[in-house]
Structure 1
Amino acid sequence: MIRQLKRSPLFVGLSEFEIQKVLDDSYCTVSYYKRNEMIALAGDPIFQIMIVVKGSVHTELIDDSGKVFRVDDIENLRLLAPSFLFGDNNRFPINVVSNTDTEILVIQKNYFVSLLNSNTVVLNNFLNILSNKSQFLVSKIKNTFMQSIEGKIANYILNVSKSLGSDNFEIPNSQTWMAEKFGVARPSVARVFSKMKSKGVIECKGRKISILDKARLERCIN
């Protein structure tokens, strides 16, 4: 686990020996969760820093009608709700659910505060995590309120294409996942794919995508 944590944004710049030294067994434990298990409910108090050591989790909102909106996927070595450890409302803002069998390192708040005071590397890393999270949320809000569903899907396709380095690829997520992610009904997602295909912007069959006209796809974002 120590070798894994060396790649965590919280411990960047520390050696394995230094990480081992700061992880006091009296204040640091590992919790285990099965696939699709609820890790935290919206409103649960936050008394600790939680780091995904193995597996991945996602966050979700449920409206009054029971509709689930998938907000974010959190891969291993990332922190859960670090911005809510401090401030007046120390509670999880949304549900946290495991995607796979997951291990989470739990560091008690009082000990973590003393660690921030004594280790400037961890302090700077934590401040960077909070700043990056704020910048990400601003970008996400802009995309949510200012971008059409067509723009969101176009942006998603282009991001996958860029990460894989190819215009011909298989998207990793289903249309149901995209509907939850973008807060729309699944048929709306299907209609966008059908429209892009009929206009010759993409070719798609199942999850297999071929970008035929990247310039037009990029214009969909705006």
Structure 2
Amino acid sequence: MEGLYQSLLFEGLDQHTIDCLLGYNGRVRKYSPGELVALQGDVYKALLIVDKGLLRTEMTNAEGSRVTLEEIIAPCAVAPAFIFATNNCLPVSIFAVLPSSVVSIPKNKLTTIMHNDSKVLENFLRIISDRSRFLSERLRLLSFGTIKSKLRSYFIELTRDNDGGSFTIPHTHQELADIFGVTRPALSRAIRQLEDSGIIRRKGGRRYELLQ
């Protein structure tokens, strides 16, 4: 469980302290790419932490339309805000993208750990706060403007930590279309329009430069 020891939940704690707090090795399950980890609507009884690999969360409506909300890399926690919610049913389905292993910490055990170590409680609250900011930004991208304006805002976010305005799209066109809740042809058309308008320039593969 090397990934678990690097989790933000246990940031600032050494491995021995983490083992003492857990009191056991933890339940670890392995998943193959595409395998279902948890289903939308399942009661969330144990906090999941990605020990290794990559997971994807998807939300589906009654008509079967789906939106990809995020990808969760090791060693991040999965849906931490829902473990203590009054209605603690998962709002998303969770799938493995890569070969993955996931550690589960039962809710009552997590409560005991946070009671015994205030640092873990502080870390947990920070994780929830950071996740809320992330989801607020994702909601903004999904809710306002045309697909072109949403893409431009997304590309600006990707260039934030890069010099010169260059960025690499970390998803395939289909994955990006799922994130924005549009079809793949609509997404490809919007990207071409941004290129034709001189807003972005393709440098090869998934790498682009933001010009405006």
Q: TM-score, normalised by structure 1?
A: 0.86
Tell me the amino acid that sits aligned with residue 68 of structure 2: R
Partner residue of 1:67?
65
Over 3 Å counting, the alpha-carbon distance change for 1:203 and 1:43 in structure 2 is same
SS at match of 2:30: strand
SS at match of 2:48: strand
Cα distance in 1 for partners of 2:60, 2:24 equals 36
Shift of 1:212: 5.9
Q: Which moved more, 1:168-177 or 1:127-136?
A: 168-177
Cα distance in 1 for partners of 2:86, 2:197 equals 51
Partner residue of 2:44?
46
Cα distance in 1 for partners of 2:195, 2:128 equals 40
Cα distance in 2 for partners of 1:129, 1:169 equals 26
CA contact (8 A) 2:203 2:209 kept: no
Deviations 1:155-190, CA, capped at 9 Å, x for gaps: 333333445555455433121111100011222211
Partner residue of 2:134?
136
CA contact (8 A) 1:202 1:209 kept: no
CA contact (8 A) 1:36 1:97 kept: yes
Cα distance in 2 for partners of 1:208, 1:40 equals 30
CA contact (8 A) 1:172 1:207 kept: no
Cα distance in 2 for partners of 1:99, 1:33 equals 9
Partner residue of 2:195?
197
Cα distance in 2 for partners of 1:209, 1:106 equals 37
Over 3 Å counting, the alpha-carbon distance change for 1:18 and 1:99 in structure 2 is same
Partner residue of 1:18?
17
Over 3 Å counting, the alpha-carbon distance change for 1:212 and 1:104 in structure 2 is closer
User: How many pairs were matched up?
Assistant: 212
Q: Which moved more, 1:80-89 or 1:145-154?
A: 145-154
Cα-Cα RMSD: 2.1
Query: What pairs up with 1:137-156 in 2 under 5 angstroms?
Result: 137-156=135-154
Tell me the amino acid that sits aligned with residue 76 of structure 1: A
SS at match of 1:30: strand
Cα distance in 1 for partners of 2:98, 2:162 equals 23
Cα distance in 1 for partners of 2:127, 2:210 equals 38
Cα distance in 2 for partners of 1:133, 1:163 equals 19
Q: TM-score, normalised by structure 2?
A: 0.90
1:115 pairs with 2:113:
yes
Q: Which runs of 5+ in 2 are unaligned?
A: none
CA contact (8 A) 2:46 2:83 kept: yes
Query: What pairs up with 1:177-196 in 2 under 5 angstroms?
Result: 177-196=175-194
